[in-house]
Structure 1
Amino acid sequence: MNQNHDEVGIKTPEYVSLQFQLAGLGSRSAAFIIDQLILMIVNILIIVLLFFILIGQQDFMLWASMNSVSFAIAIILLFILNWGYFFAFEYFSGGRTIGKKVIGIRVIQENGHSITLLSSFIRNFLRIIDSLPVYYFLGLIMIFFHSKHKRIGDLVAGTIVVHERKTKKNKLTAIEKEIEKRGLTKDDVDIDEWALKSFDTKEWNLIKTYTNRFMQLPYDERNQLTIKVAEIMLPKTGIVMSGKNYQNLEDILLVLYLKLKDEWEYEL
Structure 2
Amino acid sequence: MDQDQIDIKTPEYVSIQFQAAGLGSRASAFIIDQLLLILINSLILIITFFVFMGGPGLFFFENVTTGPLAIAIILIFVLNWGYFFAFEYFNGGRTIGKKLAGIRVIQENGHSITILSSFIRNLLRIIDSLPTGYLVGILMIFFHSKHKRIGDLVAGTIVVHERKEKKKGKKSAIEKEIELRGISKESLMLEEWILKSFVLKDWKLINTYSNRLLQLPAFERKQLTVKVANILFPKIGLDAKGRSEADVENTLLALYLHLRDEWEFEL
Q: TM over 0.5, yes or no?
A: yes
Alignment of 1:45-194 (within 5 A): 45-55=43-53, 67-166=65-164, 167-194=166-193
Distance in 2 between residues matched to 1:65 and 1:199, nearest whole Å? 55
Matched, 1:41 2:39: yes
SS in 1 for 2:145: coil
Query: 1:131–1:81: structure 2 CA closer, same or farther, 3 Å change rule?
Result: same
User: Partners in 2 of 1:205 and 1:43 — Cα distance?
Assistant: 45
Q: Measure the CA separation in 1 of the matches of 2:65 and 2:245.
A: 61
CA RMSD of aligned residues (A): 2.6
Check 1:203–1:69 CA distance in 2 against 1; reply closer, same or farther (3 A cut).
Answer: farther
Q: Deviations over 1:93-132 (max 9, x none)?
A: 2222121111111112222222222222211111111111
| Cα distance in structure 2, aligned partners of 1:241 and 1:67 | 61
Counterpart secondary structure, 2:215 = coil
Q: Does structure 2 conserve the Cα–Cα contact (< 8 Å) formed by 1:109 and 1:160?
A: yes
Q: Taking structure 1 as reference, are residues 136 and 216 closer, same or farther at Cα in structure 2, changes over 3 Å only?
A: same
User: Residues 164 and 242 from structure 1, CA distance in 2 versus in 1: closer, same or farther, beyond 3 angstroms?
Assistant: same
Which residue of structure 2 lines up, in the alignment, with residue 24 of structure 1?
Answer: 22
* 1:75 partner amino acid: I
- 2:198 is aligned to 199
Task: Output the amino acid matched with 1:18.
Answer: I
**Residue segments in structure 1 that go unaligned for 5+ positions in a row:** 58-63
C-alpha distance in 1 between matches for 2:104 and 2:110: 11
The residue aligned with 1:255 is: 254
| One-letter amino acid matched to 1:229 | V
Q: How many residues matched?
A: 259
* Deviating more after overlay: 240-249 vs 110-119: 240-249
SS at match of 2:94: coil
| Rounded Cα–Cα distance in structure 2 between residues aligned with 1:16 and 1:258 | 21
Distance in 1 between residues matched to 2:221 and 2:63, nearest whole Å: 68
User: SS in structure 2 opposite 1:181?
Assistant: helix
Name the residue aligned to 2:58.
Answer: none
Which amino acid counterpart does residue 30 of structure 2 have in structure 1? Answer: F
Q: Distance in 2 between matches of 1:17 and 1:202?
A: 13
Q: List per-residue Cα deviations over 1:176-196 (Å, max 9, x = no partner).
A: 222222222222222222222
| Residue segments in structure 2 that go unaligned for 5+ positions in a row | 56-61
Cα pair distance change 1:48/1:187, threshold 3 Å: farther
* Alignment deviations for residues 32-77 of structure 1 (CA, whole Å, 9 cap, x no partner): 11111222222222223323321469xxxxxx99953333332232
TM-score by length of 2: 0.85
What does 1:230-241 correspond to in 2, within 5 Å? Answer: 230-241=229-240
In 1, Cα distance between the equivalents of 2:246 and 2:175?
Answer: 17
Q: What is residue 214 of structure 1 aligned with on the other side?
A: 213
TM-score normalised by structure 1 residue count: 0.85
Partner of 1:61: none
Q: Secondary structure at the match of 1:204?
A: helix
Counterpart CA distance in 2 for 1:212 and 1:4 is 34
2:208 maps to a residue whose letter is: T
* Aligned twin of 2:9: 11
Identity of aligned residues (%): 65
Whether the aligned pair in 1 keeps the contact of 2:226 and 2:240 (CA below 8 Å) is no
